[in-house]
Amino acid sequence: MNLQFSAKEVQDLFVAWLALGLAFAIFFERSVNGLLQEGIVLPLVVSLLTAGVAFLLHELAHKVVAVRFDQVAEFRADYSMLFVAIMSAVVGFLFAAPGAVHHRGYLTEREHGLIAFAGPVMNLVLAVVFVPVLVVGAGGGSGLITEIGAKGIIINLFLAAFNLIPFGSLDGRTVVGWSKVVWVVSFVVSAGLAILAYILLFANGLGF
């Protein structure tokens, strides 16, 4: 597998990562003023390590699988939507559509479905990765590590479930077109885990 990144793609990935980190930092702190009062560096770092990584690896998973199927694939940031993400966070809600991996070449329905499915699967894997981070933070009394673990879990589970919604350009629409069974199982699991994580983490104020 020949996985290559153009200078433009690296730039777009980096800008999207920073913009989403800033948007989520503002959203988590409830406002720009809240972010400035808390100090921008630490909330930004937490958001880059949780939301930023979640989005970044989601898109890279699409690219890796696409290249595995001999596609020419590159991520392109949507700069106007990155601006919308930051502005929406400023006014109190968050809408993030940072861009997408574009690929070209012949694909079977199964291959197309697997490329789309790779993103949500990556987010489910990342949610699992953040579980020991949460455990270590909570067990060691570290509020910062606990926050990173908790946010990493809930953000990745939410992204997995959200992207599996079979609507518009979301991954779920392509996955349904490939396999309804795979879609039902993955959506139920990711949505169920997201709700459970919300109850256990948000409701108990862990990391938020």
The sign one gets for the Cα dihedral 164, 117, 52, 88 is: negative
Dist. CA 134–CA 140, nearest whole Å = 10
Residue 143 in tokens = 């509020």
Q: Using CA atoms, how far apart are residues 163 and 148, in angstroms rounded to an integer?
A: 22
38 is catalytic: no
- Residue 153 near residue 134, CB atoms below 8 Å: yes
**Which candidate in 9, 38, 59, 109 is catalytic?**
59
Three-state secondary structure call for residue 72? strand
Query: By the 8 A CB rule, do 130 and 148 touch?
Result: yes
- Please answer whether residues 36 and 74 qualify as being in contact, where contact means their C-beta atoms are separated by less than 8 angstroms: no
CA distance 100 to 63: 9
Q: Tokens for 198?
A: 């919300």
Alpha-carbon distance of 141 to 146, in angstroms, equals 8
d(CA 41, CA 33): 14
Known catalytic residues are: 59
